[in-house]
Amino acid sequence: MTHEPQVATTTFAKFEQEHILPIPENKRTGTPWSLFAIWVGLNMMPLAVVTGAVASSGYGLTIGWSILAILVGNVIGAIGAALHASQGPHLGIPQMLQARAQFGFQGGSLFAVIALVMFLGFFASILIVAKDALAVVFPELNGSLVIVVFAVIGVVLCVFGYDLLSKTMVYMSVLIGVTVAVTMALLWMKPEVTAERAEAAFSFEGLFGMLAIGIVWQLAYAPYVSDYTRYLPKQTGPKSAFWSTYLGLVGSSVFVMTLGVLLGAANVASPLAALSDHLGWIGVIALIVFAVTSALINSVELYSAVMNALTVLQSMFKITVTAGTRVLTTLVCGAIATLVALLGQGDFMTTFESFLSLLLYVLIPWSAINLADYFIVRKGHYVVADLYMRDGGQYGRWNRVGLISYAVGLAAQLPFMVTPLFTGPLAAPLHNLDLAWLVGFAVTAVVYLLLVRFSSSEAAGAPEKSQAPLTPPAGTH
C-alpha cells in the first residue's frame, strides 16, 4: 500500500497517487468553480487565438460572419463535451478508460491511443504557438530553446498531478481573462482593425468550415473532461459537472477566438503580430502573458495524455500502475511531444488545420457511441471493477458491437469529408460544406443502438443493474 509523502500534505499542492484508479470520495477535492476555471484557463491561450483567426484570415469571412460561425460551432460542440463531463462524478474514472465498457478491455485501448496522439499533438501545438507569440516580442530568441523551456515547465506541473494543475488554472484563468478583455476592448476601438478588408466576404464553405472547427475544438475536450470532473464529490452531481464544463468551454472559447478574428482581419499573414502592431506596449505585454501562461496551461494536455498512455500500458502489459509509473510516463510523453514541436515549427497552420479535420472525423463516432451507451443503453450503470479486469469482466476483451458501429460511422463520413488530403465525392455537390461530422454522429448512434438491441446481452455487454463499486478488485491495477 502506498502513502502520500508527509511533505506533500503541507505544501501548496498534494502529489497525486491515484493516476488511472477511481478517485475515492474522501479525495474528491474538486468544486464547480475549480472545474470552471480549468476550462476557462485552458482556452485562454495563443492556440485559441490563432484558431479563431482562421475564420477571417484563412476562410476570408467578414468579422460578423466569423464570430457567428465560431459562436454556433462552439455552442454545438460543447454540448457533447459537457455530456461526457457529466459522467465523471458518478464513475470517478478517467474518460477514455471508460471506453472499455463500449469496446472491451483491449478494444478500448485503441481509442486511448487515438486520444494519446491527440493530446500529444495539442501539447506540441501549444508549445509552437507560445514560442511564436514570444518571438514577436523577442525575435532574437532561440525558438527551439524556448520550446524546451516551456515544455519542462509543463512537465513539472504534470508530475505533481491534478491538485497543482487545478490550483494553477484558477490563477491563470483570471490573469489571462483580464488580458484578453483589455486587448479586445482596445482593438474594437481601432477603426483600422474593425474595418472590413475589401476581399472579406461571406461564403458557405467558410461558414461551415469554421463551424466544423468550432465543433471539433470543443469535441477535442471530450476524451478528457471526466479526467477532471471525477474529482467532484459524487453528491455534486452530473448537472454541476455539465454546466461548469459547458459554460467554461463556450464562454472562454468564443471570447478568445473572437480576439483571433480581429487579429486575423488586421494581419492575415501573422495574426499574433497584430497585437504589438496595433496596441504597442500593451500588445507586447499581452503576447508575453500569452506565451508564459501557455507553458503552465499546457500541462493539462500532458496530464490527459499520460492518463491515456497508462490506460494503454495497462491494457497491453501485466503491470502494476503506481505513482512512479505515472511520473516516468509523464517524462516520456513530454519528451515525445517536445520533439514533435521542435520538428514541426515550419508551416504550422496548414498542418494544424489538417490535424483538426482529422480529429473531428475520428472522434465523432467514439463520442456518439459513448453518449448513446451511457445515457440510453446503460443509463449510467457500470461495474467499475470490471473495467480493470484483464478479461474485461462483463464487458469482454473486444466488444464487436462497439467496434463495428465505430467502423460504420467512419465509413459514413468518407463521402462527405473535406480535407487537404482527401475530399469525398459528395462534398463537391454540397459546395465543399463539411457535413461529415453530422452524418457520422447520427449514423454511428443509430447503428450502435440497433446492434445493441438485436444482439445478445453478452455480445452487447448488457448493463448491470447493481450499484457500480468505485474501486477495482485487488490485483487488477
Q: How far apart are CA 126 and CA 146, in angstroms?
A: 12
At 409 the pLDDT is 95
At 71 the pLDDT is 95
pLDDT tens-digit profile of 130-169?
888 888 888 888 888 999 999 998 898 888 876 677 777 7
At 195 the pLDDT is 76
Give this prediction's pTM: 0.80
Provide the H-helix boundaries in 105-203.
Answer: 107-137, 143-160, 162-188, 191-194
Please, what sign has the CA dihedral across residues 230, 220, 327, 172?
A: negative
At 462 the pLDDT is 46
Flag residues of the chain having pLDDT under 50.
1-10, 457-477
Q: How far apart are CA 343 and CA 339, in angstroms?
A: 6
- The CATH homologous superfamily to which domain 25-347 belongs is Hydantoin permease (1.10.4160.10)
At 18 the pLDDT is 67
At 427 the pLDDT is 79
